[in-house]
Amino acid sequence: MNSSPGTVPVPLTMPDLGVAFPGPFPTSPHAVTVERELRRWAAERNLPVPEEELRALCGITSQGITRALPTADLDSLLLAAELLLWLVAFDDTYGEVTAATDPATLAGHIDELTGVLTSSTPTARPGPFTTALRHLLNRLGERATPSQYLDLTGHLRGNLVGLLWEAQHLTDPSRVRLHTYCTMRPLTVFAHTIIALTPIVLSYELPDRQGIPPLVDRGETAVACLVGWVNDLASYSREASRSPVSPLSLPTLLMHERHLPLPEAFTAAARMCEEQAVIARALIDELSADASSPLKRHAQALKHIVHAFIWHINHDRYTTPVT
């Protein structure tokens, strides 16, 4: 029997990713400092997020970043955490459930942010997210090479496009084909943006995209796919409890396309995650075997990004019921 929208039968099967990515996962010794400074930065930027929600976002963002970048120095961790917090807070404020009822507001904000990313003339009265993004880009531009900066801002534009696409389908996920969703999901989970940020904050440079080994693109794509699906399973119960419509996510689309009840769809999604983890790990290991030091560092960075997303499966943000 299919569950009705907004309900989540228990138990739901979570993937076992320990074979491909065994723990424990390393973390930075700066984790406590990053969370404290991230809260201060968010307060200074006046992001329009309720205080309790912002505190929770600062917690999961700081802990996630210190696992994704366990060897980074404190300044680098803070810069990465601030950019990721900005993305997640914007999505929580104007995307997700809010976008389903007010897509025009989301589109208006995205127009303004796209102007920042393309260095167009600032609006007369920029909002707090726009001001914060301009501040972040100025600092990133001081550290990034021109190609790194273009790569990062290109992925940020992709994130905004992804949020608009997602908003169009939140009220009726059944219209989305599984193949299309798997193509778009890395944009809405910000995976490639985090990957593009890593060489900037860890101070290494990959070859130009025209000359980069195909293995790099394959590894990044495999990781982005994996972390999107992992996030879907981690957040499913939370998203389902907030909306009368089933979440736009991997289990929901498996229910529709394969005519499965939710528990079986969830089990199928968990199995897909486990299989994708094996693929991603094999590509990371192959990339690690390259004699080029930047490619070795990039492989390690991809592994740590996966660690961060696996870690957050059991975070309170997803395991605590929405009230």
The arithmetic mean of pLDDT across residues 51-64, rounded, is 93
Residue 42 has pLDDT above 80, yes or no: yes
pLDDT of the residue at 220: 97
Q: What percent of the chain has pLDDT over 90?
A: 74
**CA 271/CA 254 separation, integer angstroms:** 12
Residue 37 has pLDDT above 70, yes or no: yes
Q: For the chain, where are the alpha helices, taking DSSP H only?
A: 31-45, 51-68, 74-94, 96-101, 103-117, 128-143, 146-169, 178-188, 191-202, 214-242, 250-258, 262-288, 293-311, 316-319
8 A C-beta contact, residue 193 and residue 152: yes
- Beta-carbon count within 10 A of 271 CB: 13
pLDDT tens digit sequence for 303-319: 999 999 999 887 666 65
Compute the C-alpha angle 171/175/179, nearest 5°: 120
- Report which of residues 159 and 119 the model is more confident about: 159
- Beta-carbon count within 10 A of 232 CB: 23
Residues with Cβ within 8 Å of residue 22, at least 6 apart in sequence: none
Picking from 83, 217, 91, the residue whose alpha carbon sits closest to that of residue 149 is 83
> Residue written as tokens 């059944």?
174
Residues with Cβ within 8 Å of residue 164, at least 6 apart in sequence: 103, 106, 107, 110
**CA 311/CA 244 separation, integer angstroms:** 28
18-27, 113-122, 127-136, 159-168 — which is least confidently predicted?
113-122
Question: What single DSSP character describes residue 259?
Answer: T
pLDDT of the residue at 16: 94
Residue 117 has pLDDT above 50, yes or no: yes
pLDDT tens digit sequence for 78-90: 999 999 999 999 9
- Report which of residues 69 and 241 the model is more confident about: 69
Residue 143 has pLDDT above 90, yes or no: yes
pLDDT of the residue at 207: 80
8 A C-beta contact, residue 240 and residue 246: yes
**CA 226/CA 232 separation, integer angstroms:** 10
> Residue written as tokens 């660690």?
307
Please give the mean pLDDT across all residues of the chain: 89
* CA–centroid distance for 262 within its chain: 24
